[in-house]
């Protein structure tokens, strides 16, 4: 079996897969995050370790007594969450999460490129802000000099998991790339960035590709977790990219999207875009010569969640989403402002609108229109011409939402039979390494697509006209 650990922001997910790609069991554990000051978000290192051990024990032994043989452990991870360690690998700080805003003043000084020539072209990062690790490292150097002076290692959250399990100080190229400190073509730390931020290269982990086999987990961890000593630790990847792998987007020209807490579009490419559109991130994929391109946004399934939470009966999403089928494309003229700062700002005027299906459809169309803009950014100056998008996230469970996306994008939309594509993508990396098989070959065997949704011609024409009208309204 393969154990995939998804280090999410809200909870950690532990999922077991058979060596045939069958999902066997999954559990979620909420880590003990704390906010000791306004804007701070952190997890004490000991609480992180406890959450990892708890999740592994629960997924392997749901009845509290049985243990299972695990062939490999692998991760999918958030980015830019990190901790500092001393020379004895003792944590000097909690794990500071990417969403922590303690370095807001420093982040403003860094944007957009920290004064580094060729920053975006080298790192694949369009701009820095306070959510990036480098901003908080600057804050720690300024505000906690005692800890800074003792620092011997910097560990991203997945690096710390790797260190606990294997004793190796290693990071995955794509996860490291999202820090803005990596030359993503060379897949190594970028010395000009390290010098700009006053970082010692010896503090940083070795950069390796996703799917790298680090050998057996430490005997003491195997004993503690009740896992066989032969369990291998395979380096995983960034959660959004793992999700792309989990829906089968693993070769150049393929495209995926996730409609969840955020909206993310991910394209697979054989080369870097020398002139990406604003807001496009680029990074190293699972093999040399392969890259991902990503565009993110906050207009996503969170809009539907907010609307649902305002309704007095709190309907289930499986009951709410189908209401959109009774409303024609265009939602009877109801439009939602995507430039609003929050879902509340955008949707508050429509909470009492009847029928509810009109609001639900308007939300779905709004998110689909936002996705269209993400794809336009990803296409940028490249010659990419997609015919299909693979869909994941909570939004992929709604047939009407998938159809709306197909019509708005004028693309075939496919989704998978599994509801855990991020964990599946990580497990695919592990299986490819264990079996010495190409990732694409494992993906073909493991990713089980449902019946695709094709664009409906009349709806495509109507949505295109709506988009043209919206663009015309914005033109001075």
274-305 tens-digit pLDDT: 889 999 999 999 999 999 999 999 999 999 99
Q: Are 64 and 51 contacting, i.e. CB atoms less than 8 angstroms apart?
A: no
In a domain, residue 242? The reply is no
The backbone torsions φ and ψ at residue 297, rounded to the nearest 5 degrees and listed phi first, read -160, 160
Last residue of one domain, picked from the residues 212, 235, 258: 235
Task: Indicate the residue among 235, 255, 271 that finishes a domain.
Answer: 235
What's residue 111's pLDDT?
A: 75
| pLDDT value of residue 94 | 98
* Locus of tokens 């940083």: 204
How many structural domains are present in the chain? Answer: 2
* Domain housing 269: 247-476
- DSSP 8-state assignment for residue 272: -
Ramachandran quadrant class, 180 (left: phi over 0; alpha: psi -120 to 50; beta: rest): left
Q: Predicted confidence band at 395 (pLDDT cuts at 50, 70, 90)? A: confident
In a domain, 241, yes or no: no
Residues 252 and 220 in one domain: no
3-state helix, strand and coil shares in percent for the chain, rounded to the nearest 5:
40, 20, 40
Average pLDDT, the chain: 93
- pLDDT for the residue 65: 47
**Residue pLDDT, tens place only, 209-267:** 999 999 999 999 999 998 988 999 999 999 999 999 999 999 999 999 999 888 999 99
Pairwise CA distance, residues 95 & 238, whole Å: 17
Residues in CB range of 288: below 8 A, 6 or more apart: 187, 209
Please check whether residue 463 is in contact with residue 407, taking contact to mean a CB–CB distance below 8 angstroms.
Answer: yes
Residue 64: per-residue pLDDT: 54
Structure tokens at 222: 């195997």
Q: Is residue 240 part of a domain?
A: no
Q: Are residues 164 and 257 in the same domain?
A: no
Q: What is the pLDDT of residue 383?
A: 55
Instruction: Among 186, 208, 235, identify where a domain stops.
Output: 235
Cβ atoms 140, 93 nearer than 8 A: yes
Same domain flag for 156 and 297: no
Nearest to 455 by CA among 400, 386, 396, 406: 406
Q: What's the CATH code of the domain at 380?
A: 3.30.420.40
Q: Indicate whether 333 and 447 sit together in one domain.
A: yes
Summarize pLDDT for 194-209 with one digit per residue, the tens.
999 999 999 999 999 9
Say whether pLDDT at 155 is over 90: yes
Residues 364 and 255 in one domain: yes
pLDDT over 80 at 331, yes or no? yes
Pair 403, 337 in one domain: yes
Q: Are residues 304 and 216 in the same domain?
A: no
Q: What is the pLDDT of residue 114?
A: 80
Of the ranges 28-32, 418-422, 466-470, which is most confident?
A: 28-32
Q: Residues 171, 174, 178, 179: is their CA dihedral positive or negative? A: positive
405 and 456 part of one domain = yes
One domain for residues 148 and 229: yes
The stretch 97-108 carries a mean pLDDT of 92
Q: How far apart are CA 31 and CA 43, in angstroms?
A: 7
Question: Residues for the chain: how many in total?
Answer: 476
Please list the residues that pair with 206 across neighbouring strands. 170
Q: What is the pTM of this model?
A: 0.93
Q: By C-alpha distance, which of 304, 298, 317, 297 is closest to 362?
A: 304
Of 370, 400, 404, which Cα lies nearest the Cα of 302?
A: 370
- Confidence (pLDDT) at 37: 96
Question: Do 189 and 209 touch, CB atoms closer than 8 A?
Answer: no
Q: Who wins on pLDDT, 74 or 385?
A: 74
Residue 86 located in a structural domain: yes
345, 211: one domain: no
Q: Is residue 416 part of a domain?
A: yes
Interacting residues of 202 by C-beta distance below 8 A, sequence separation 6+: 152
pLDDT in tens, 39-84: 999 999 999 999 999 999 999 987 554 566 899 999 999 999 999 9
User: In terms of Cα–Cα distance, which of 288, 261, 183, 233 is closest to 426?
Assistant: 233
| 193 and 219 housed in the same domain | yes
Are residues 133 and 209 located together in one domain of the fold?
A: yes
Residue 128 lies in a domain: yes
């Amino acid at each position: 079996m393969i154990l995939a650990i998804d280090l999410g922001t809200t909870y950690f997910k532990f999922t077991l897969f058979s060596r045939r790609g069958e999902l066997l069991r999954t559990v979620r554990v909420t880590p003990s995050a704390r906010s000791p000051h306004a804007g701070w978000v952190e997890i004490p290192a000991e609480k992180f370790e406890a959450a990892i051990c708890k999740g592994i024990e629960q997924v392997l032994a749901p009845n509290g007594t049985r243990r299972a043989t695990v062939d490999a452990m692998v991760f999918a991870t958030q980015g830019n969450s990190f901790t500092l360690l001393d020379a004895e690998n003792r944590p000097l700080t909690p794990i500071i999460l990417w969403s922590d805003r303690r370095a807001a003043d420093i982040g403003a000084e860094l944007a957009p490129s920290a004064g580094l020539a060729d920053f975006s072209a080298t790192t694949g990062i369009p701009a820095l802000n306070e959510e990036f690790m480098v901003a908080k490292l600057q804050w720690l150097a300024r505000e906690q000099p005692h800890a800074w002076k003792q620092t011997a290692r910097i560990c991203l959250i997945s690096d710390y998991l790797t260190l606990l399990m294997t004793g190796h100080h290693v990071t995955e190229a794509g996860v490291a790339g999202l820090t803005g400190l990596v030359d993503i073509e060379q897949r190594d730390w970028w010395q000009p960035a390290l010098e700009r931020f006053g970082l010692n290269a010896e503090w940083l982990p070795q950069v390796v590709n996703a799917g790298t086999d680090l050998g057996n987990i430490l005997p003491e961890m195997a004993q503690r977790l009740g896992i066989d000593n032969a369990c291998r630790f395979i380096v995983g990847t960034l959660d959004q990219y793992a999700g792309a792998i989990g829906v089968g987007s693993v070769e150049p020209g393929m495209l995926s999207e996730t409609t969840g807490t955020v909206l993310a579009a991910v394209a697979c490419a054989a080369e870097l875009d020398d002139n990406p559109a604003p807001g496009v991130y680029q990074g190293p994929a699972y093999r040399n010569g392969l890259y991902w391109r990503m565009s993110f946004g906050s207009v996503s399934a969170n809009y539907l969640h907010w609307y649902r939470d305002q309704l007095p009966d709190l309907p289930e999403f499986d009951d709410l989403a189908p209401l959109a089928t009774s409303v024609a494309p265009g939602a009877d003229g109801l439009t939602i402002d995507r430039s609003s700062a929050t879902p509340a700002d955008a949707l508050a005027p429509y909470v009492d609108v009847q029928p509810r299906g009109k609001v639900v459809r308007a939300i779905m169309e709004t998110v689909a229109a936002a996705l269209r803009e993400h794809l336009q950014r990803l296409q940028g100056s490249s010659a990419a011409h997609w015919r299909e998008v693979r869909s994941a996230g909570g939004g992929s469970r709604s047939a009407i939402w998938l159809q709306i996306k197909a019509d708005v994008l004028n693309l075939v939309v496919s989704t998978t039979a599994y509801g855990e594509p991020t964990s599946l993508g990580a497990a695919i990396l592990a299986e490819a390494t264990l079996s010495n098989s190409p990732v694409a070959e494992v993906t073909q065997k493991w990713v089980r697509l449902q019946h695709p949704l094709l664009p409906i011609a009349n709806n495509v024409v109507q949505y295109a006209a709506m988009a043209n009208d919206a663009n015309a309204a914005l033109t001075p």
